[in-house]
Amino acid sequence: MTKKIEAIIREEKLNDVKDALQAIGIVGMNVTECRGHGRQGGIELVGRSGAYKVDMLPRVQINIVLSDHNLEQAIDTICHAAQTGSVGDGLIFVYPVEDVVRIRTGERGRAALMYPGDIDTRPLG
Ligand SMILES: Nc1ncnc2c1ncn2[C@@H]1O[C@H](COP(=O)(O)OP(=O)(O)OP(=O)(O)O)[C@@H](O)[C@H]1O
Ligand SMILES: [Mg+2]
């Protein structure tokens, strides 16, 4: 019914990804700054005193909770906007969400995810 996308992307791609998501009608989201590495374990830099490894690289994590039927479109949109083709473009994790509560109104589930004009209020296509 409801899923959470946790997309870890390059910092400099945040605006492109945000704009692309807005264009398909994704309204609610949150962003956190994070650090980490994938399978290359970071990068090697060469400085005056020799080579050293930076193993925790800055990234941005975008969190979106959305209805199942919008999941694939959101994933495609993020991939398209965040991709450079080089290693380190990021990863997308998808989780099931048990419930959502809008604190102001007490609405639950899908009703708590609706915003005027968002992807959920448009006809399915
Ligand atoms: N297994 C993981 N669990 C949690 N976070 C991860 C994991 N792997 C990578 N990350 C996060 O995603 C960021 C980007 O990872 P990255 O794109 O390097 O993945 P990758 O699997 O090494 O792919 P690529 O070969 O394209 O580099 C990392 O900096 C880290 O913050
Ligand atoms: Mg990597």
Distance 103 CA to ligand 1 centre (A): 34
Taking Cα atoms as reference points, which of 61, 123, 60 lies closest to residue 95? 61
Angle (CA) 116 74 3, round 5°: 80
Residue 124: its pLDDT value, please?
44
Q: What is the mean pLDDT of each run of 10 residues along the chain (125 residues)?
A: 96 98 94 96 92 94 95 98 97 97 94 78 50
What domain count does the chain have?
1
85 CB contacts (<8 Å, ≥6 apart)? none
- Measured in whole angstroms, how far is the alpha carbon of residue 124 from the centre of its chain? 22
Q: Which range marks the domain in which residue 110 is found?
A: 2-121
Distance 88 CA to ligand 1 centre (A): 6
By most ligand atoms within 8 Å of CB, the mutation choice from 8, 12, 86 for ligand 1 is 8
Residue 76: its pLDDT value, please?
98
31 CB contacts (<8 Å, ≥6 apart)? 14, 60, 61, 62, 63
55 near 37, Cβ under 8 Å?
Answer: yes
Ligand 2 is a single-atom ion; what residues have CB below 5 A from it? 38, 40, 87-88
Atom number in ligand 1 closest to CA 36? 31
CATH for 56: 3.30.70.120
